[in-house]
Structure formats: structure tokens, C-alpha cells
Structure 1
């Protein structure tokens, strides 16, 4: 018999000082149907997202995510990048560093897959969607508690789900919609607990937890601070967490390569190492208008006091960030969403 995963994973709600990631990992690994080998089950991430969506307090959301990332940092760091992207609606289209853009699959394809996995009529799904207002909730109502049809002892892993979603997003050509639907159906039939809800939402790139990429990254930074300062608590630990979070926001604003920032946090070394590894460079875009956020003109002038700076007018039209490397004699162009658009303007 499988353990009650919801009760098991509720340990991430504990205060930071009371959370024991090793004890949780041992219980997760010893479950019937648990993931064999490295990595955590997708049910862990799905449960965490459920807990985060149920609470409205920002500090509670961050605490839950912090404990979650602590367990991954200690026991399964390879799951971190996938978890960050899934939890913040970011689905990279390919392996390039500047392709982590929000956007998911169309609802039509996913709806067909949900109907097939649940064996229900279109009218039934439409009715549930009208009642809940969310395709994930509708999928949960149809699939929760349903007898698992494939590999009774198999579980989805975080990496498996993330890799599948990326591959599904890249499907092209004749018959691509059919191939997408079949892969989604296969995963949905393995789902248990609250996995149907969040697998569906991850496919849509709309997890509906109230957590943004910035807040998820803040939680990862907090987790790194806790692990690198095991003897601290109270005010001293809060001070360290604040330092890690400020450094993370700073480097991500000037060095918009989420993968590199996440990798630097995993590697450890604190804020100084983070700033050293993630420095502004040609070819990696700077987040537009967010490199140094200011509350107003007075704040900007105060921050730039004693320095030479220039200002420019904001014009209507397409925003473009241009990087030119004299060393490699190449140029790159990025949109306001940091998509590579060099090929759009060959001249």
C-alpha cells in the first residue's frame, strides 16, 4: 500500500529550523512505487505547489519553497533547474541559455489528452471546466483516485516530466499533435495524488500558485544560505538569507541567464562567488529596465550620486538589445523578452 504522500510531504511546511530534508528523503525513497535511483518523484513537486497555492502569505510560500529546495540541494541537485522552471511557468524551447520563456501547450491538445486518459465524454470535461474555471482542477476531478492503468508501481519523476514537456513543446511536422497527445495521455495515466492537476498546469505553463520566477529564485537563494550556514538561526540567519537573495536578484538583473544563476547557487560559495560567476558579458542579455530598480527619480539620482551617467528618451516601437563582440566579430540581438532575434534583421 502506498503511503499518504500529502501527509508525508507536509513536512515542508515546518519552520526552517525544524525541517529535516534527509529524513524526508529517506521516507520518499522507501515508498512503494518510489523513484529508483537519483531524483525525486514529481508528486513531491506537485504537493509543494499545492501547499504554496493554498496559502496567501508570501513568507509562508517562500518558507515552503525554501525547504523544498533545501532537500533538492542536499540530495538531488539535478532536479533543481527543472523544478525552478516548472514552478515558475518557464518552459525552455531548446538548450540555449536565452530560451527560457513563458509559454505552454494549447488547451485543445491537453483537453483531448485528459478526456482520453479519463475515458470521459467531451461534455463531462466541459462541465467540470465551467464549474472549476481551471483545466488542471477539471483533470484532477476526473483522474484523482482513478485506478492507475499503466505500470502500477511506476511513478513520474521531476526530470521525466520536465524533459517530456520540453520535447512535447518542440514537436513539429505531420502528426505532431497526435504524438503530443499520446505522450500526455501516457503521463496522465501514471499520475496519482494531486499530480493530474499540476501536470496539466505545467503543460499549460500556468501553475497558479502565486509564485513568480523571482520569488522562486528567492526561495532557492534562501535554501542555499541555510545550507551554507548550518549553525545559524534567528536574526543572524535572516541576515544571511537577505544577503543571498539580494545578490541573486542583482546578478540575474544584469546577467539574464537563469541556468547559470541557478548553477552558481547550487555550486555554493555565497554571494561573492555568485557575483564572480555571473558577471555581465557580451552575448548574454541584461534584463531591460531592471538592472537597478529605483523607486523614483530622486532615488535614481541618489544612487548615481558622484557618478557620470546618461539618460535617454523612451520611444514607441520594437525594443531591441544589441550585443557586439569585437573579439569574435559577431553580433546578437535580443527582444524585450530576451528572445534571440538576430536572424530577423540580417542587414
Structure 2
């Protein structure tokens, strides 16, 4: 799938904060998206490469991004920094700089969603000696073949500054409309998302297997469940008004809300924000088998 289609959709989404318009732009995007790319598109919409619990971070430093822009454009770092200061958005600055590009690549390759995604994934996985130079190489290779608009959004994803105003519920509304013909099916998608915490997987499933596939989602070990969060109210009367006459109450305890997933010798802990935190609590990991036996 051509990355230009995604970049144009991002541009439309940035131009509005109206939920109905955002939903319509998403529906149009999903209808153009091949099934094998839908999960990648869904992650990129959120500025991610994978679900949170897999812990794959894209983010790069601004200085490194500026070096990559300079390498691709042939324009001095100082001039790029000046353009960045003017607007405060490095993605936008890159688009302006690349319009003034002094270097021409004759053997340009097409920028596809697949290529962008795979390159970003390689960048996210790089670490250790020489990794900074490799990141610059990968980023500049994309920018060499990208038009200014495409480059702008590649950098916004890399820097974690993509602001489309698209909430998860809006994405699910659009998926329901695009692949089932009815927004009413959003609740079924929401249940699947709640038990999987993986919106990309939800998108791929409804695109390839329809609502029947979504209805088969179940809780799975080592895929954390999204936590139920409370709404604040000001009085007991308001609780009754919101909940009705019959409801259960439990104490709110101080401390961290942690999910514990266990299978044989494997133990993983997940935070309220669905991040894997097993390495932070070795003492808890050590005691869990004894507690379970008890």
C-alpha cells in the first residue's frame, strides 16, 4: 500500500477535531487498506508499532532526527534547527527543508506502508555500539524517497509527536462501519479489545474474519486485560443516580494495580497501563509460586 495514501489521511485528520469527521476519514482509509496491512495502519495511527504490553518503543531524539534530515537533504544542521525553532514542529520543518532539497536521488524507491513500518521496527530494535549511526542511515533512506508530506509524518511517528486526535473508540467506530456496515457493532469490537489489549489484532480480525471472528476473542495468558477504570462522583446520591438501586462497592486500596500471568515456570507482571513490569519486581516474582501453592 502506498504510504502517500496514509500520509494524506493523516493530513485530513490533523485538520479537524470533530469526531464524526475523524470517523469518516478513518472509514475511507480502512476501505482503501489491504487486509494484510490493516494491523500496521492501526498501530501507526496510534503512533505505535505493536501493542503497549510488548514494550516496543519507537522514539528517537530530536538531534538524531535533525542529523538524518541533513544527511537526506544536503542542508546544514543549523538551517534545519532554525526552521524548527520557527514553527516548533520538526516534522513540519522537515517538509519545508525537503522542498529545498539540494541532493537528488535518481534511483528512488516507492515509499509503501510496509517499508515504512519495517524500517521503523528495525530502528526500534537497534541498540548498542553503532546504533545511532544505523538509525540515521535508516531514517535518511526513507527521507530520500519520501515527498515532504510523507517525510513529515514519518518523523512525527519517530519522535512521538503524531497528534491526530483519534481516540481508540473512534478507531473502533470506524472499523465497525468499514467492515461490518454498522456502528452498532462497536461494542463487540470493544469487548475484543478489552480482553486482548491489541487494537491491531482486532482490526486484522474484523477485516479478515468479520464480526464472527471478533466474537471469538477470549482472555489469553500474557496478553493483559484492559483495566476497568472508575468515574469520580461528588456524592452518594450521584452514585445511585448513575448505577441504579443495586450495585456492589469495594474498597479502593493504595498501591499499584498489577496483573499477574502464570503458566508453569513463566510469570509476567503487567501494570495498569499494560506495560510489562516483571523486571521491576523480582521479589514479587520470587514469592508468587509459594503464594499460589498455598
TM-score calculated relative to the size of structure 1: 0.72
> Within the alignment, does 1:114 sit opposite 2:55 as a pair?
no
* CA-CA distance at 1:254 after TM superposition: 3.1
> Within the alignment, does 1:62 sit opposite 2:36 as a pair?
no
For 1:85, the equivalent position in structure 2 comes to 43
Task: Give, in whole Å, the separation in 1 of the partners of 2:141 and 2:91.
Answer: 16
For 2:5, the equivalent position in structure 1 comes to 44
Indicate which of 79, 83, 89 corresponds to 1:128: 83
> Within the alignment, does 1:288 sit opposite 2:206 as a pair?
no
Distance verdict in 2 for CA 1:122–1:293, change over 3 Å: same
Distance verdict in 2 for CA 1:299–1:160, change over 3 Å: farther
For 2:250, the equivalent position in structure 1 comes to 311
Task: Give, in whole Å, the separation in 2 of the partners of 1:121 and 1:156.
Answer: 25
Paired positions, count: 279
Distance verdict in 2 for CA 1:48–1:283, change over 3 Å: same
> Within the alignment, does 1:53 sit opposite 2:31 as a pair?
no
* Aligned residue runs from structure 1 range 124-203, under 5 A: 124-144=79-99, 146=101, 149-203=104-158
Q: Is the 8 A contact 1:102 1:205 kept in 2?
A: no
| Secondary structure, aligned partner of 1:268 | helix
Task: Give, in whole Å, the separation in 1 of the partners of 2:267 and 2:231.
Answer: 27
For 1:322, the equivalent position in structure 2 comes to 260
For 1:339, the equivalent position in structure 2 comes to 275
* CA-CA distance at 1:310 after TM superposition: 5.5
* CA-CA distance at 1:169 after TM superposition: 1.0
Ranked by relative contact order (alpha carbons within 8 Å, sequence separation 6 or more), the top structure is 2
| Secondary structure, aligned partner of 2:44 | helix
TM-score calculated relative to the size of structure 2: 0.84
Indicate which of 176, 182, 185 corresponds to 1:244: 185
Give unmatched runs, 5+ long, in structure 2.
287-294
* CA-CA distance at 1:174 after TM superposition: 0.8
Task: Give, in whole Å, the separation in 1 of the partners of 2:108 and 2:74.
Answer: 21
